[in-house]
């Protein structure tokens, strides 16, 4: 077995262990929430006998370790349980919302990744120039503000007072691609502004770090233009850190959309999680949290593999 395959298996094993630990934390976190789930579902007017019967039906009287083992066993079989709010399958509820969250993450990534690479390359090419300082200052400004502040600023300028975009991105009925791109532009732009700064600065730093290398000096002595030196020689060797930072930000685009979806009333997993927390629908909250954790682990695994494959010294090591 090659060392690449061994590394992938090791990362998979570590990812499974991480998911197990996360599942335990998720379950314990929901268990420590104050209040009685059965009482919350039935309301304050429910009789003690009715509450006791519902607790027995939901298995809430069993020891915590027994309930965790039962829940984890169902998760391994692909069953995330039933919603306490409406009795629907949690897997079906998440499946309907997951496509919207992934669409928004893809929309933002299509804008953010090329933009970050271009800005990072130009900032490295024109290092210490006005453009470099302006790009860095803009990046630090955008990354310093919380998502909801950026979202409300965009709503004020681009949606308020007859702006070209809607302030709410609710999707009802069949939505064409053109209509979706229009409605989801502001939440996608919010996520883009939040993640672009980190990726741009990492791209700039990785390229500048390589510009003092001997082979870069040799390329310059051969008369290559600065842009060609960066794109052809520096950028390929800077891919490992750039891939890692892109993967981390893609994971954020999937798992960190809760605030953005709530602000724009976007029908994704983040909005579903907030609604489920308000309704104390713990099976849905646990399922969404586990999906977010799995997405984060999977993207980190992908980043590790791609970063290794981009480095010939690791692929063909002796």
Q: What is the pLDDT of residues 29-85, one digit of tens each?
A: 877 777 667 776 777 777 778 878 877 877 777 788 888 888 888 888 888 888 877
DSSP 30-44: HHTSSS-HHHHHH-T
Spatial distance between the Cα atoms of 156 and 158, rounded to a whole number of angstroms? 6
pTM over 0.75: yes
- Residues facing residue 82 across a β-bridge: 89
Spatial distance between the Cα atoms of 93 and 288, rounded to a whole number of angstroms? 10
Mean pLDDT for the stretch of residues 131-156: 88
Domain ranges, ordered by start, for the chain: 90-315
Spatial distance between the Cα atoms of 93 and 65, rounded to a whole number of angstroms? 26
Kindly report the number of other CB atoms within 10 A of residue 43's CB atom: 9
Q: Which CATH class is domain 90-315?
A: mainly alpha
The pLDDT of residue 171 is above 60? yes
Number of H helices, E strands in the chain: 17, 0
Helix orientation angle between 239-255 and 185-210, rounded to the nearest 10 degrees? 160
Contact 83, 283 (CB under 8 A): yes
Mean pLDDT for the stretch of residues 262-282: 86
């Amino acid at each position: 077995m090659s060392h690449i395959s061994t590394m992938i298996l090791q990362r998979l094993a570590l990812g499974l262990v991480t998911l197990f630990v996360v599942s335990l934390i998720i379950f314990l976190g929901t268990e420590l929430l104050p209040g009685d789930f059965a009482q919350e579902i039935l309301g304050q007017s429910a009789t003690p006998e009715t509450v006791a019967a519902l607790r027995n039906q939901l298995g809430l009287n069993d020891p915590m370790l027994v309930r965790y083992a039962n829940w984890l066993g169902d998760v391994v079989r692909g069953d995330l349980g039933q919603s306490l709010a409406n009795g629907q399958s949690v897997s079906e509820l998440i499946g309907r919302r997951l496509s919207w969250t992934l669409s928004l993450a893809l929309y933002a990534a299509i804008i953010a990744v090329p933009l970050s690479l271009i800005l990072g390359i130009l900032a490295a090419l024109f290092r210490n120039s006005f453009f470099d300082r302006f790009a860095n200052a803009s990046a630090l400004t955008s990354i310093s503000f919380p998502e909801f502040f950026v979202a409300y600023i965009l709503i004020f300028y681009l949606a308020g007072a007859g702006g070209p975009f809607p302030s709410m991105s609710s999707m009802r009925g069949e939505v064409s691609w053109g209509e979706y791109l229009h409605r989801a532009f502001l939440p996608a732009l919010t996520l883009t502004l939040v993640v672009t700064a980190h990726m741009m600065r990492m791209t700039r730093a990785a390229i500048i770090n390589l510009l003092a290398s001997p082979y870069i000096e040799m390329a310059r002595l051969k008369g290559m233009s600065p842009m060609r030196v960066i794109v052809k020689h520096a950028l390929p060797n800077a891919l490992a850190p750039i891939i890692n930072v892109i993967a981390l930000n893609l994971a954020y685009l999937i798992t960190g959309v809760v605030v953005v979806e709530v602000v724009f009333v976007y029908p994704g997993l983040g909005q579903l999680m907030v609604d489920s927390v308000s309704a104390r629908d713990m099976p849905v909250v646990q399922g969404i949290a586990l999906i977010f954790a799995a997405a984060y682990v999977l993207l980190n695994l992908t980043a590790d593999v791609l970063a290794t494959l981009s480095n010939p010294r690791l692929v063909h090591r002796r």
